[in-house]
Amino acid sequence: MDMESLQSLDIQILVGVAVAVLAIGVGAAYLFSSKKSKGSLDPENFKEFKLVKRTQLSHNVAKFTFALPTTTSVLGLPIGQHISCRGKDSQGEEVFKPYTPTTLDSDVGHFELVIKMYPQGRMSHHFREMRVGDYLAVKGPKGRFKYQPGQVRAFGMIAGGSGITPMFQVARAILENPEDKTKVHLIYANVTYEDILLKEELDGLAAKYPDRFKVFYVLNQPPEVWDGGVGFVSKEMIETHCPAPAPAVQILRCGPPPMNKAMAAHLEALGYAPAMQFQF
């Protein structure tokens, strides 16, 4: 074999090795990516997650932080969906309730639930009794809402009490995605100032994204000095603080049943078609 043939053979071997190495690298990257992005949830079976931190936010509200299987694990919850939690009430009977985490899959290794614990709430009892080291049984994802960046021009959100959690999750996902230009207008109603959940986080989003996120608070029993809305959410408040009815606009609502019913009537009167509305 002459020198020229040997050189040609060497080049072919080098190219072959390079292609093989590249294929192995791409395959490994794909496997790592698939492994990393695989969620920790099971839609059919309850899985248990360990409580690693409990932060009391007020007399009846606490933030519960649960560890995922590894420090790089993600929960794997699609935006706008929720999980089902299983616990026991004060009589020792099994109880199930849906909750929306306030964390996203960009928060790796853990997920958080902000829980308002009501005196007579059956699942509230379970959370009230939980201590660091205990486990919570969770199943999911659950829910009808599916969000794709840019699916609407603007969202109007009307939330009451703990109904803020799905709104916060959707708003945060939109605002933290630099490719998503959707605008978010939130009306958040509570009884007293102390009842406002995630206020620091909501105000932080409003300050960081002033052109894309607006929040208007409404209180039934406001403090003496108060520049938000007073009473119940009215048609006029929706008209002022939510985007006007349009094909590229959607109104999301989540709150106590009487509030949801009243908001549906207000929205219909203002011309929002059923297709422009979604209730969590």
Tell me the HSE value of 179 on the side-chain side, using a 13 A CA sphere: 4
Quick check: is 254 catalytic?
A: yes
Residue owning tokens 């009808």: 144
Decide: 68 and 75 in contact? Cβ < 8 Å.
yes
Residues paired with 49 in a beta bridge: 136
CA 11, CA 273: separation in Å to the nearest integer? Answer: 67
Q: Which of 99, 188, 217, 272 is catalytic?
A: 99
Element (H, E) at 268: helix 257-269
CA 277, CA 234: separation in Å to the nearest integer? Answer: 17
Quick check: is 147 catalytic?
A: no
Q: Which of 110, 126, 242, 254 is catalytic?
A: 254
Decide: 43 and 141 in contact? Cβ < 8 Å.
yes
| Sign (positive or negative) of CA dihedral 159, 164, 165, 170 | positive
Quick check: is 100 catalytic?
A: yes
Q: Which of 65, 85, 100, 272 is catalytic?
A: 100
Residue owning tokens 């406001």: 222
| All residues at 6 or more sequence positions from 253 whose CB lies less than 8 Å from its CB, including other chains | 157, 158, 159, 163, 260, 263, 264, 267, 277, 278, 279, 280
DSSP secondary structure code for residue 78 in this structure = P
Quick check: is 99 catalytic?
A: yes
CA 212, CA 210: separation in Å to the nearest integer? Answer: 6
Q: Which of 82, 126, 185, 241 is catalytic?
A: 82
Q: What positions carry a catalytic annotation?
A: 82, 99-100, 254
